[in-house]
Chains A and B, each alone.
Chain A
Amino acid sequence: MNPLLEVRNANLSFPTRRGLFGRGTAVPVLRDVSLRLETGQVLGIVGESGSGKSTLARLVLRLLKADSGAVLIDGQDHRDLSPRAFAAAVQPVFQDPYSSLNPKRTLAQILEMPLVLAGDFVAEERRTRVRAMLDRVGLPQRLLHSYPAQLSGGQRQRVAIARALMVRPRLLICDEPTSALDVSVQAQILQLFDELRRDFGLTCLFISHNLAVIERIADRVGVMYRGQIVEDGEGRTFFAGPQHAYSRLLLSSTLPPIPGRPLPDVARPWDAN
């Protein structure tokens, strides 16, 4: 049985362009990254900025091409899938709910878009599905013909999630989906993810810098550091006793709202040289 998503020894580097004629050097962003995600599971990826976690998401989404290695969706190289087949399998949710919705299109247009592109639905069916999805993500029907500018940040993120779910994809790629939101709104969106997982059996690659969020939502955790996955394991085991020094540092750096504790020590002895 193939895992739904498998990344095999992916390497990716960005060329730096120096002037018109100068030769750029390649900066490695992903270094021999491998991971497996089984159907129905949520894999949380944590790491600091520049660790390569967003690049990993963009690689899986076919927005970037690996220098070597492969990304397999259900055993098939994702580059071999037609745009339609890929769209039906994998959908993204982004961080910034302001940039992820076209300001000039109504909610109805935004949510219909994936169905129009999928091409298998008549107009009537599309409308029914859009209305059902609005209900599902907790948005009132009367917002159907409003524009993104009329919504709050949390409502926009609900729309972005709804759009991703319209074609019932098998895999959701979420890149920091709650990081731009207030905590009270973040809690609403996390609750929505919980419900959607229950209803749709969602499989999800969930990227976040917030370990407490990852702990709540993920079955498995991967820690990225400087382009590598330095630790990868079952959620509870990981949070009970992270093995890699960087994982431990990350875990100790998150500050719970418990008064009377000193700030942790965050030295990186392995970087000293």
Chain B
Amino acid sequence: MNPLLRIEDLHVDIPGAAGVLRALRGVSLTVNEGETFALVGESGCGKSLTAMAALGLLPRAARMRAGRLALDGQDLTRFSQRRWNALRATQVAAIFQEPMTALNPVLTIGRQMTEAYVQHGLGSETEARRRASELLERVGVLPVGRRLAQYPHQMSGGLRQRVMIAMALMCRPRLMIADEPTTALDVTTQVEILRLLQELQRDTGMALLLITHDLGVVAHVAERMAVMYAGEVVETGPVAQVVTQPAHPYTAALLRCLPVQATRDRPLVPIPGVVPALFGPLEGCAFRNRCALAGEDCAGSIPWRERAGQGYRCLRDEVPA
């Protein structure tokens, strides 16, 4: 398996009125060619920011520092704005939670789909229209002829997300970054979109970096995953292992507080307390103030450990599931 996207020791600081927010603190992950990699965590953990860094779309005020940020061997840390634009037009595509904000409300679907394609010299207007039609048909936005002439607000949330996917596929990306693509959708529509993404991956061989808070979605579609907490990756590994035998107490706690169908008699165990503020230097394990297994040793530096394909940042060997 060849690594496609490699992020090593990524730091992002965001200066603000209240001080410098250490939003990402040494994030490392690798997405292999053709695989689905899930980045999981709760709001504010830095999962979207990691995606934005990989897309070159960090907020202007953010300061980034990375040991490595590479796509298919190209070093992205030194990319100019122009090269980022070209990269996003041809190799990496992104879809977001709310397609309405990513679509231009005053342009027709057809216009939006073809414009960037032509602009970046990927083909002629005619070719662009043909490809747009093919893709809309493929993602099930029918009847294609009428849909091309419609505006985003004339479609339902599920259809808009399909349009976004079709639009993202125009440039035949090698990597698609999907940030909470199904969070705003109904459960049945969510399954439809996830199935579509799976099929498209099978057809095109693209890799998918799926950013989500939903462990149920992860278990069904991803092969490998990373769990983020307070700006760090705390655990990574194959989904089948991480979800059934979590190595980090946070992953275990997250699974314990998730209501799952047909387990009504298993008590939900909320995680006590709140995420620490990410201002200034943070020593030791960021989860220790909420962790049942924490001890005095957790205030020191925590090494990254590996066990049977799972990597995690915790001193404890046994984590009760």
**A209 close to B (CB within 8 Å):** yes
Given that A183-B213, A216-B259 are contacting pairs, would A253 and B243 also be in contact in the complex, using a CB cutoff of 8 Å? no
CB distance B261 to A259 under 8 Å? no
> Is A212 a contact partner of B260 (Cβ separation < 8 A)?
yes
**Contact A183–B258 (Cβ < 8 Å):** yes
In Å, the complex CA distance between A262 and B189 comes to 16
Q: A55: CB under 8 A from chain B?
A: no
A147 sits at the interface (CB 8 A): no
Residue of A nearest to B241 (CB): A259
A258 CB to nearest chain B CB (Å): 6
Judge whether B268 and A209 touch: CB under 8 Å: no
> With the chains together, A262 CA to B240 CA distance in Å?
13
B264–A184 touching, CB < 8 Å: no
Shortest B75–chain A CB gap in Å is 34
Asked if residues A215 and B274 are in contact (CB atoms below 8 Å), the reply is: no
| A253 touching B268 in the complex, CB below 8 Å, given contacts A183-B213, A259-B239 | no
B residues contacting the other copy or chain, number (CB 8 A): 41
- Comparing B47-55, B84-92, B159-167, B215-223, the segment that makes contact with chain A is B215-223
Give Cα A211 to B259, complex, Å. Answer: 9
* Contact B254–A183 (Cβ < 8 Å): yes
Q: Choose, from B1-9, B10-18, B191-199, the stretch at the interface.
A: B191-199
Q: Which chain A residue shows the least CB distance to B258? A: A183
Given the known inter-chain contacts A190-B268, A255-B191, please indicate yes or no for A263 contacting B257, CB distance below 8 A.
no
The reply to whether the CB of B247 lies closer than 8 angstroms to some CB of chain A is no
Residue pair A264, B240 in contact (C-beta under 8 Å):
no
What's the nearest-Cβ distance from chain B to residue A131, in Å?
22
Q: Are B262 and A259 in contact (CB under 8 A)?
A: no
Complex contact B194–A263 (CB within 8 A): yes
Q: A190-B259, A254-B216 are known contacts. Are A263 and B42 too (CB-CB below 8 A)?
A: no
A209 to B219, Cβ gap below 8 A?
A: no
Interface residues in B90-131 by Cβ distance below 8 A to A read: none
Residues of B within 8 A of A239 (CB): 261-262, 264
Q: Mark A239-271, 1 if CB is under 8 A from B, else 0.
A: 100000000011101111111111110101000
Please determine whether A184 and B220 come into contact, CB atoms closer than 8 angstroms. no
Contacting pair B257 A255 (CB below 8 A): no
Chain A residues within an 8 Å CB radius of B257: 183-184, 186-187
A264, B239: Cβ atoms closer than 8 Å:
no
Contact A253 B259 (CB under 8 A): no
Instruction: Tell me whether B219 and A255 are in contact (CB under 8 A).
Output: yes
- B306 in the interface (beta carbon within 8 A): no
- Beta-carbon contact of A187 and B271 below 8 Å: yes
Q: Which of B216-266 contact A (CB under 8 A)?
A: 216-221, 239-240, 243-244, 253-255, 257-262, 264
A263 & B270 in contact (Cβ 8 Å cutoff): no
Docked-complex contact A256 and B213, CB < 8 angstroms: no
Residues of B within 8 A of A182 (CB): 42-43, 213
Interface centre among A251, A258, A259, A263 (most CB of B within 10 A): A259
Q: Find out whether the CB atom of A216 lies under 8 angstroms from the CB atom of B264.
A: yes
CB contacts under 8 Å to A, within B29-72, are: 42-43
Residues from chain A with Cβ under 8 Å of B262 in the complex? 215, 239, 256
Given A254-B261, A255-B217, A256-B262, 20 further pairs, Cβ under 8 A: A48-B188, A49-B186, A183-B254, A187-B268, A187-B269, A187-B271, A188-B270, A190-B259, A190-B268, A239-B261, A250-B188, A253-B187, A255-B219, A255-B220, A257-B219, A263-B194, A263-B198, A263-B221, A266-B188, A266-B192
Residues of chain A touching chain B, judged by Cβ–Cβ distance below 8 Å, are: 48-49, 152-154, 182-188, 190-191, 209-213, 215-216, 239, 249-251, 253-264, 266, 268
- B positions within 8 Å CB-CB of A: 42-43, 157, 186-192, 194-195, 198, 213-221, 239-240, 243-244, 253-255, 257-262, 264, 268-271, 274
